A and B are shown apart, each in its own frame.
Chain A
């Protein structure tokens, strides 16, 4: 059995996690660094991707139980959802609908093909959920994974700055919008601010917006296809 893919992925990822102290490099998440390094390695030594994926696909399979495991943070913070209930739920729905519609509109403006639109629709959702949605609506899971990571990086880099610029100061509002727009990578930036409410709100928002997107994105695509 060839374990090359599995071992190299874990090794590269653990190495990429060590870059936390290097300035500039640490704005990018370890997934992206390890991924780019692996792509370079595969290209440089002309290793076939299928040979790599033979054992690396076991890691990809673990995305399924991790999706289900996301229910745990929701359960842990269920009390927070009960406070300010109406506004928070409306914000989740608003964020989901705006994410899906704006992605579609901008993709149409840029004249993207339908398969690219399909793989970009779930882009503001946490990766395992986004990959599942993309598979279901006919997108390319690999492209979805890349776009999701890039969205997260953008949100983590500029999310707090944008919110500061438009003078949003409430911790619940900050956590919710960052969690809804840039999922777990943005949330890791909230962790650095050390504000309990922000972190909790972001980690709940990313799960619920993910589930809502799984409902909204296929419905929206269905409507668009039948109206044309």
Chain B
């Protein structure tokens, strides 16, 4: 029982920290008038704070794990909201499918090839400089 209570308290504490990041980045965006999603500014600030050690990992570990594991569930109501826009989907479903197929393939192929060749080239260069040093 005590364990669950502590887990729950950890979750709430982490949630408060995450929401604090959201509302403070909301404030920054509203005062500076930048067209940028506040949650993503919050994500950037949060990562920096974590890496710099301003926020301790143990404060937010439980919350982050629970939220990320259940992220797919939070999406379901939005997916259902499609019911309101079904006329748009009915009119454009073929175009949407073509776009998804084509662009996803393009991105996968280009990124995959770029990274594969890049890493190979880098390794080749490293080997060459290694040989030069040996000589």
Q: Which residues of A contact B (CB under 8 A)?
A: 5, 9-10, 12-13, 29-32, 34-35, 38-39, 42-43, 49, 52-53, 56-57, 59-60, 62-75, 78, 84, 87-88, 90-91, 94-95, 98-99, 102-103, 106-107, 110-113, 116, 120, 123-124, 126-129, 131-133, 135-136, 140-143, 145-147, 149-151, 154-155, 158-159, 162-163, 166, 168-170, 172-174, 176-178, 180-182, 184, 207, 210-211, 214-215, 218
- Asked if B130 is at the interface (CB within 8 A of a chain A CB), the reply is no
**B95 and A107 form a contact (CB under 8 A):** yes
User: Contact between A39 and B88 (Cβ–Cβ < 8 Å)?
Assistant: no
Complexed CA–CA distance, A170 and B111 (Å): 12
B82, A136: Cβ atoms closer than 8 Å: no
CA distance A111 to B97 in the complex (A): 14
Choose one: B38, B78, B88, B89; the contact of A141 (CB below 8 Å). B78
The residues of B that contact A150 with a CB separation of less than 8 Å are 96-97, 100
The reply to whether B71 and A13 contact each other, CB–CB distance below 8 Å, is no
Size of the chain B interface, CB-CB below 8 angstroms: 72
Q: Which of A57, A72, A107 contacts B99 (CB 8 A)?
A: A107
Cβ A9 vs Cβ B106 within 8 A: no
Question: Is A214's CB under 8 angstroms from B111's CB?
Answer: no
What's the nearest-Cβ distance from chain B to residue A39, in Å? Answer: 5
Residue numbers in A under 8 Å from B43 (CB-CB): 67-68, 70-71, 129, 207, 211
Within the assembled complex, what's the spacing in Å between the Cα atoms of A132 and B84? 19
How many A-B contacts at CB < 8 Å in the complex?
296
Name the contact of B104 in the complex, choosing from A13, A132, A154, A163 (C-beta under 8 A).
Answer: A154
Docked pose: A88 CA to B114 CA in angstroms: 10
Whether B98 and A9, one on each chain, are in contact in the complex, defined by CB atoms closer than 8 angstroms, is no
Point out the residues of chain A lying under 8 angstroms from B15, CB to CB.
65
16 A-B interface contacts by CB (under 8 A): A32-B79, A39-B82, A52-B80, A67-B39, A67-B43, A72-B64, A90-B118, A110-B94, A154-B100, A162-B108, A173-B116, A176-B111, A176-B115, A180-B107, A184-B72, A207-B43
